[in-house]
Structure 1
Amino acid sequence: MSSIGYERKTITRTGADGTVREERYFLCSIKPNAELFSIAARRHWNIENNLHWALDIVFREDKLRSKEKNGIHNLGLSRRFVLFIIKLLKAYYHRGMKRIRSKIGRNLESEIPVILAVLKVLYDNDMMDAIDELAK
């Protein structure tokens, strides 16, 4: 531990909640630098909101109770790969990720050609930059 960080943010919500203030303390391994800390804190919440939240909504990951470490790791990799594919398919289906997962889950055999076609179009059109953006 190299430093302790403090974050205070004000969230303005519409409706009955109004304004909410949140305060957090972080134990950090980075050097005590306010600008570096603010970047690290924002990146942490960006990952939490974009990856973990999506995994929980689409796959209900927080409700899983597996104890086997290798199994947890392998299932996590599989879920992240599938989430990546679902994000690619959002442009094709024009639906939310949870609904896309449901559609693919019900008709996997008929959806595989669609998935492969979308991946082929991206690859053929040299859209690897778009794939890199989606993977973030």
Structure 2
Amino acid sequence: MTRYYVTSLRTAATALLRHVRDRWSIENSWHWPRDTQLREDAHRYRESNGVRIMATLRSLAMNALRLDGFWSITEGLAALSHDIRGLLALVGWREPAQELSSA
């Protein structure tokens, strides 16, 4: 799809292209996954605290997945959706060396 941009900025075409792509990279890497994979726009909350809490939890989830090597949120969710130990390891949980019942 072709897009046209009008600007009064005096710069080289490559610098303008980089500027436009940098502006869209936030949308493509942050807002779009929140809306599509985490379905943020589909949720309706009555309390403003609920909105803030859920937005924070979504941010934490996305950052944890990306720090673990999942650039695709969909792939990260699919890989860990049935892996409780993997999910716990993702947030830093370490299993105890021995079960308390066997001590």
**TM-score range relative to shorter protein:** 0.5 to 0.7
1:21 and 2:33 correspond? no
Q: Which has the higher strand share?
A: 1
Aligned match for 1:89, one of 65, 68, 82: 68
Mapped partners of 1:24, 1:66: distance in 2: 37
Describe how 1:83-122 pairs up with structure 2 within 5 A.
83-90=62-69, 96-100=75-79, 102-103=81-82, 107=84, 110=85, 111-112=87-88, 114-115=89-90, 116=92
2:34 aligned partner: 55
Whichever of the two has the greater Rg, that structure is: 2
* Cα gap change, 1:22 to 1:68, in 2 (>3 Å): farther
For these two proteins, the number of residue pairs brought into alignment is 85
Deviation at 1:62, TM superposition (A): 2.2
Mapped partners of 1:50, 1:72: distance in 2: 21
Deviation at 1:88, TM superposition (A): 2.1
TM-score with structure 2 length normalisation? 0.57
Mapped partners of 2:82, 2:41: distance in 1: 22
Computed over aligned residues only, the root mean square deviation of the Cα atoms, in angstroms, reads: 3.2
State the secondary structure of the residue aligned to 1:33: coil
Mapped partners of 2:81, 2:75: distance in 1: 10
Deviation readout 1:98-133 (Å, 9 max, x if unpaired): 3145235xx3xx331x2227xxxxxxxxxxxxxxxx
1:66 and 2:45 correspond? yes
Structure 2, gaps ≥5 residues long: 94-103
1:33 and 2:9 correspond? yes
Moved over 6 A (4+): none
The one-letter amino acid of 2:3's match is E
* Cα gap change, 1:71 to 1:90, in 2 (>3 Å): same
Deviation at 1:96, TM superposition (A): 1.1
Aligned match for 1:78, one of 50, 57, 61: 57
TM-score with structure 1 length normalisation? 0.46
